Amino acid sequence: MARNKPEILAKAKTWLTDIFDVDTHKEINHLIENNPVELEESFYKNAAFGTGGMRGIMGVGTNRINKYTLGKNTQGLSNLLKTEFKGEKLKVAIAYDCRNNSKELAQMVAEVFSANEIEVYLFSELRPTPELSFAVKYLDCHAGIVLTASHNPPEYNGYKVYWQDGGQLVPPQDTKLVDIINNLEYDEVNFKAKPEFIHTIDTEVDKAFQKASVENGSFNTEASAKDNLNIVFTSLHGTACKTNPQILEKAGYKNVFLVEEQKEPNGNFPTVKSPNPEEPEALKMALKLAEEKNADIVIGTDPDGDRLGVAVRDLNGEMILLNGNQTMLVMTWFLLEQHKKQGKLSANSFVASTIVSTPMLKNITEDFSTQYHEVLTGFKWIAKLIKDNPDLDFVGGGEESFGFMVGDFVRDKDAATATLLACEIAAQMKAEGSSFYEQLLKLYTQYGLYREELISLVKKGIEGEAEIKQMLIDLRENPWQEIDGEKVVLIEDYHTSIANNLQDKIEEEINIPKSNVLIYYTENGTKIAARPSGTEPKIKFYISVNSDLDKVENFDAENAKLAEKIKRIKNELQLG
């Protein structure tokens, strides 16, 4: 049996002091005596903030989500708020999702804020992440917290921090917060709640959020078109059951069929292997119901209600799950069309997406003579773009990982409003004798056929972290020269902020924040990005290939060629 490492044992024993509760002592003693591997995983580092805040496995230890690690985060944030907003009466909003322990952790976070005499507005029940983003601005708060681990497995939970603009924490506040937290000791966390500072919120914010979603996601769809659309919706045991069906009803959609078995919130996600709408298997029950109800569109959302998966009928009437890029392309095109019709497009209008999303979005946006902006992975960077450019008008935008944002009344992925938007598109296209899917194919004929695929390599634990780190080092030291017979002509290294044009032998600076991302481009427009996940033990490779599509009827044949190309690339680069 493996033995406890002295440095890990010493760190674990600091959690056996009077600062920590009896249950924590018991669990740590159990790990010391019986499970040195788990002890090491729990204490070898401090859980860190990534692209989506802090996520981790629940349990005892510095590398786990628990009362003390989140208490330390909250004390650190309290200290930061007092520094950043000196003399102001501080307010924060708190929401939580369906995950195990989310409610209890949210209450604890509220208590730490209250102990620091910060006014807390705590949702009475679970609510989706986009509603928290909305609530921060609606209630004029200085910050917000969501207890969620998005679509991670059941053993995870997490802590997302929002700033007063409703967007997630970004520089310079994020680095300040991390520094404060790292310099805090656990005995400095104030757990002595002052209940008079904690206020419960519910229906007032719900009504305001739902009203705003309907206003931002509706586009003059005829009532007859709405009546003629059959919708299947599933929240995959998550929080969107509290908002999305209600928003669709308020917008005038009557034929909404819910997957009853997945309607009730449940942090164990009993009917799915993974509560991730990116995975076709997660929508299996919804697709079955779609056949029974002759549905035109299926929509599934993740546990905290910020991502959505969309399935629509193809040209043969078969249900097909679109990927995040495809949904984003149709949604963005539709928004641009609507803004153009309404005379709202101007030189100051802009669309935003991320560096690992499809290059096709830029083609569409520029065709509307509208600005296109690209940011690092994560909606916090799109929110920052909006915040930093108050003179610009944000139309909408998204990323490949099934997130979309309509306008800027919410400053994060918003599956509530995006669900309504998807239905508006489907209803209008059907009324015109077309469909959501057919419109996607038309866009391919106009702007080029793009096919993307994401490969996620899971590398768990200490060894996995080291392996991911080494893979990025190898890619930098021994860069690919050729991919599928195509010369690599450009390498963008976001860690060094240098774009190296291999053809012209020119290096240019990349003017967005540093990140551990490498992107390769070939002479024929193939694009491959590599980045470690900020919230999961994975390294991700994003492959994008493209060709021309002369007419819709040739889509299947051309798409098959691109699928073969991606298969060759995966084999060649050993990414299978």
Catalytic residues: 150
Judging by beta carbons within 10 Å of its beta carbon (0-12, 13-18, 19+), is residue 478 exposed, middle or buried? exposed
Q: Does an H or E element contain 247, and which?
A: helix 244-250
Buried b (16+ CB within 10 A) or exposed e, 249-265: eebbbebbbbbeebeeb
Dihedral angle over CA of 478, 574, 453, 311, nearest 10:
-160
Note the Cα 406 to chain centre separation in Å.
15
Contact 477, 556 (CB under 8 A): no
198 SS3 class: strand
Rounded CA separation 3/214 (Å): 58
96 SS3 class: strand
**How many Cβ atoms are within 10 Å of 206's Cβ, its own excluded?**
18
**Which of 132, 55, 140 shows the shortest CA–CA distance to 95?**
132
- Strand spans (E) along 185-332: 198-201, 231-234, 256-258, 297-301, 308-313, 319-321
Q: Does an H or E element contain 158, and which?
A: strand 156-163
Rounded to a whole number, what is the distance in angstroms from the first to the last CA of the chain? Answer: 33
